[in-house]
Structure 1
């Protein structure tokens, strides 16, 4: 897909008329955004700490907010832009593609996360709900934190989504559930949030097992809890919790 994006980009530069250049440029953008998927499936979710991760405060106390990942809606935005550029030449096709892009964006939904001194909040939106659905677990309600992989079979191959599961001491309430959730676990699909999955796991696991460290969530630099290890260290396999190694879990 990346090679196709480059070809479209070259074509847009050399095009002799503006409508064709716009279409080729939007096609290049669309191909480039869809090429993000294989990199994320291979574990390259983020190279550094996102600037959008920030300290927050509210009814659950001080903490750090992890917004929804832009990598999820970006391909659909590019697809919609491609449809919009087709409207002057092929009105019906362009509008249809634009509506399909909006529908797919709504179908996929979004997930955001907040880690507070009092617990963990997950907020999600998908096609089943008009607004956001929120689930909050206090640290005392969380029995354990573990990793998992959700495998979704596709017509060609399969999709692997890394999950972070919070196991509550009691049965998880039905309200606000996602398809990843079970009666005994609240799932955080890490590819949907703007944080490196291994750094997110380490932070929540550490805060759960070491209550005396939760005070750092009150500091302005709370976001540093989610700073990932350097890329060269993440390429080395290992479990940083069990062995002290700084490699990756997923």
Structure 2
């Protein structure tokens, strides 16, 4: 078991037991493996990009654009295979004290941007492919199309791929959502913001409306496999309609996407259950130092 005991025996925050994930802290070996993987991802495209840029600077800006596309796309691929916390960082800047005009002081827990790697891959691939076609059209593609310097078919194929990636990038930007969880002495608020569409969808649940808080699972299927993603289900005393997120919610519950939030899901679940059962302790959420309750290092019980 672990303890949320961030400030020792003098802490104003109660000690709460929660399930501890075994070997959650990255080992030295895993850190070295990740560092080696980063080096490989930098070295392999880096050598080709260096040649492209040295050949393109002062001669062809298109080649430089294409080379930059390779860099951006490679960074996206690296982030895709990168674990969420490769160095074992214990504190997150996404967990912070928050002052709301309506609900007062509380805690805001932000989400990891899981779409960023996809955005980088699509943007980098589109930039490279379109730059390669433009360079071929101008007769100045340099090393961007080493196998299709004189082939219109290869250049056209690259252009089609680039346009598909650019179209997918636009769709991702439109559908991109920022999620956050806010906890106040008065209740729980789930925020979903769509920046491009300028839309805000939120659910505010007063603590007195909560029947129970349970661990939930969202099953996501794709590529012949099913992935189980961790949720925190806030079950309601009275059904709530309309349902805001049909893949997460039902009239009887509002789900919090723990798999996205930059906070240990077991710790978050334990603290929320404690606050639900102990109304007299909810004022702790308004303290400026409350984020440490959600980020302190786990200690053995």
Under a length normalisation based on structure 2, what TM-score does the superposition of the two structures give?
0.65
Q: How big is the shift at 1:184?
A: 1.0
**Unaligned 5+ residue runs, structure 2?**
1-33, 54-63, 135-158
Q: How big is the shift at 1:225?
A: 2.3
- Deviation >6 Å, runs of 4+: 2-5
Other structure's SS at 2:132 match: coil
Query: In the alignment, which residue of structure 2 is the partner of 1:200?
Result: 268
- The verdict on how the C-alpha distance between 1:176 and 1:149 changes in structure 2, with shifts beyond 3 A counting, is closer
Equivalent of residue 106 in structure 2, options 17, 38, 63: 63
Query: In the alignment, which residue of structure 1 is the partner of 2:121?
Result: 79
The separation in 1 between residues aligned to 2:265 and 2:296, in whole angstroms, is 9
Asked if 1:214 corresponds to 2:282, the answer is yes
Q: Which has the larger radius of gyration?
A: 2
Query: In the alignment, which residue of structure 2 is the partner of 1:173?
Result: 241
Equivalent of residue 252 in structure 2, options 169, 184, 187: 184
Query: In the alignment, which residue of structure 1 is the partner of 2:81?
Result: 35
Equivalent of residue 90 in structure 1, options 133, 154, 161: 133
Q: How big is the shift at 1:142?
A: 0.6
Asked if 1:164 corresponds to 2:232, the answer is yes
**Unaligned 5+ residue runs, structure 1?**
234-244
Q: Is the 8 A contact 1:149 1:160 kept in 2?
A: yes
Point out which structure has higher relative CO (alpha carbons under 8 A, 6+ apart). Answer: 2
Q: Is the 8 A contact 2:243 2:250 kept in 1?
A: no
Query: In the alignment, which residue of structure 2 is the partner of 1:241?
Result: none
The separation in 2 between residues aligned to 1:136 and 1:108, in whole angstroms, is 22
Query: In the alignment, which residue of structure 2 is the partner of 1:239?
Result: none
Q: Is the 8 A contact 2:79 2:117 kept in 1?
A: yes
CA deviations over 1:46-103 (Å, ceiling 9, x no partner) = 7423112211122012100112322x12112212331234432136443431331231
Q: How big is the shift at 1:105?
A: 4.5
Equivalent of residue 192 in structure 2, options 101, 124, 129: 124
- Count residues in correspondence: 225
Q: How big is the shift at 1:168?
A: 0.8
Q: Is the 8 A contact 2:96 2:108 kept in 1?
A: yes
What is the RMSD computed on CA atoms of the aligned residues? 2.9
Under a length normalisation based on structure 1, what TM-score does the superposition of the two structures give?
0.77
